[in-house]
Amino acid sequence: MHGRILIINPNSSRSCTEGIADAVAPFAGPGIPRIDVQRLEEGPPAIVTWRDWFGVAEPLCRRVEEEAADAYVIGCVSDPGLEAVRSVTDKPVLGMFRCAVAAALTRAERFGIIGFTQKSLPRQRRALQSMGVEDRMAGWIPLDLPMEVLTDPVAPQGRIAAAARQLADQGAEVIILGCAGMAGHVGVAMEASRLPVIEPCQAGATAAILAVIGARMPVLLRA
């Protein structure tokens, strides 16, 4: 099985991009499409505001037009530019947030989300509404930390643990890490909450791998 999956981080943070790459590194292996991770050098340091969210749509479109792949993943857990990017390619384009929510609902009825900042809530709420699952959210708690603090291997762990425990108390049965910058903190959230934790980078990569393999299955069956 050959193929390429391109994950595009729409922000310019090197540490966030490296965290995404580390999160999906275990997916490398024989028969699995190669996963490449890139960042938008011209993107904002983080996707915080609606202006950031809308502003990266066109650069994402250009990157997809320039970079051939069998599937694309938007590497931000608010799925910026998803609809726009789908308009410039006939290949699958996946949003990490929607993939994470779908994965969470295979584990439990009610999920909680640890958000990036308070300003992320309207964007993630809109995605939940489009999926028809907003009422399955038990709670949403923002960390309100800068991206470079969030990607630090130690600095945000206390805040993440406290948020995970609070979501468990609010009735969440599974927790979604609501920012790609949290990719390295699955363990602390899981230990604090005693619940399954969905990491969106891996959820997006998994969905993309299935999309690529599924698209080629009829050819393999005929061979």
State whether 174 and 213 are in the same domain: no
State whether 39 and 104 are in the same domain: no
State whether 195 and 116 are in the same domain: yes
**Is the pLDDT reported for residue 89 higher than 70?**
yes
Cα separation, 70 vs 47, whole angstroms: 25
State whether 71 and 137 are in the same domain: no
- Helix count and strand count (H, E) for the chain: 10, 8
State whether 137 and 160 are in the same domain: yes
State whether 57 and 146 are in the same domain: no
State whether 196 and 106 are in the same domain: yes
- Distance, C-alpha 208 to centroid of its chain: 12
Structural domain boundaries enclosing 119: 98-200
Cα separation, 219 vs 222, whole angstroms: 5
Q: Which of 75, 131, 121, 74 is nearest to 101 (CA)?
A: 131
Return all residues near 103 (Cβ < 8 A) that are at least 6 apart.
198, 203, 206, 207
The pTM of this model reads: 0.93
Give the mean model confidence (pLDDT) for residues 9-32. 95
State whether 115 and 163 are in the same domain: yes
In the DSSP assignment, the letter for residue 10 is: S
- What are 85's two structure tokens? 């990017």
Cα separation, 7 vs 204, whole angstroms: 9
Cα separation, 189 vs 159, whole angstroms: 10
- Residues 64, 40 contacting (CB under 8 angstroms): no
- Distance, C-alpha 138 to centroid of its chain: 19
Q: Which of 170, 174, 181, 131 is nearest to 16 (CA)?
A: 181
Residue with tokens 């993630």: 124
Q: Per-residue pLDDT tens for 95-115?
A: 999 999 999 999 999 999 999
Q: Which of 96, 182, 195 is nearest to 139 (CA)?
A: 195
State whether 156 and 176 are in the same domain: yes
Q: Per-residue pLDDT tens for 145-193?
A: 999 999 999 999 999 999 999 999 999 999 999 999 999 999 999 999 9
Packing angle, helices 157-169 and 186-193, rounded to 10: 40
pLDDT the model gives residue 215:
80
Number of C-beta neighbours around residue 69 at 10 A: 23
**Is the pLDDT reported for residue 218 higher than 70?**
no
Task: Give me the CATH number covering residue 41.
Answer: 3.40.50.12500
State whether 8 and 84 are in the same domain: yes
| pLDDT cut 90: percent of the chain above it | 93
Q: Is 196 left (phi over 0), alpha (psi -120 to 50) or beta?
A: beta
Number of domains comprising the chain: 2
State whether 135 and 148 are in the same domain: yes
State whether 146 and 70 are in the same domain: no
